[in-house]
Structure 1
C-alpha cells in the first residue's frame, strides 16, 4: 500500500473502470472524502476490485453488474445494493436483469434478503425516474 496511487497500470485501469461504472460524481466524492486513514482502502478497491476483477475480459460489465447485485443483496449490503442499482445506468443491466438476479437471491439466499433488495431497487428506480423527468422538462 506504500505505492503512490496512479503509478500502477492496474490502478489507472481500475480508476477508469470505476468511473465508467459508478460515474465521475461518485468517484470524485469518494476521493474527496478520503482521509489518510481510509485512503489506502480507496486505493485498494480501485486497484483490486475495479482494476483486477471488473477489468477482466470474462464477463461483460452488464454481467458483472448482475452478479454484483445478487451478491450484495444476498449479503445484505443495502447501501452497496443501491449504489450498484444506480450504476446499471452505465453497465447495461436492465430492470428485468435486476429482477431476475433478486429472484435468484430469494431462492438461494432467502426471501428476506430479496425482499429488502427489491425494496431498495424500487426506491432507487423511483429516484432515477424522477431525476430523468426533471431533466426532461
Structure 2
C-alpha cells in the first residue's frame, strides 16, 4: 500500500507542482533527506492531495491560505506558481487572502498579496481582473 501511495503521490505532485519543479527537487535529494522526500510525497501528495473529496483547485486555495497564515513564504510562492496547474485564478487567490486577513491577520495577507503580485506578475493579474 505504501508504494502505491508513493506512486500516486508522485503523480499528483507532478500534476500540481509541475514536472520541472519535481525534477529539480529530485535532483537535489540526498541520502540524508530522501526519507523526508518520500514521506511528503506519500503523506501529503499520495494520502491527502490524491483524495477525491476536494479538487486540486480547492486544495490549492486552502494550501495558500494556510501557508500565508503561517508565514511560510517560500512554500507559499511555490504554491502560487502551482495555481497555473490547479486552475485557481488570481481572483480566487485574492479572495482567499481576504479570508487570511480576517482569520490570520492583515500583515500576513498583505505580505501574501505582495508575493502573489511578484509571482504571477501584476500585468497578468490586472488583465484577469479586467483592469
TM-score by shorter chain over 0.5 = yes
Q: What corresponds to 2:88 in structure 1?
A: 93
Q: What corresponds to 2:46 in structure 1?
A: 51
Aligned residues between the structures = 123
CA distance in 1, matches of 2:17, 2:68: 18
TM-score relative to the length of structure 2: 0.91
CA distance in 1, matches of 2:123, 2:62: 21
Structure 1, unaligned runs of 5 or more: 1-6, 130-137
Whether 2:111 is the aligned partner of 1:116: answer yes
CA distance in 2, matches of 1:64, 1:110: 21
Structure 2, unaligned runs of 5 or more: 125-131
Q: What corresponds to 1:66 in structure 2?
A: 61
Q: What corresponds to 2:16 in structure 1?
A: 21
Post-superposition shift, 1:126? 1.4
Q: What's the secondary structure of 2:52's corresponding residue?
A: coil
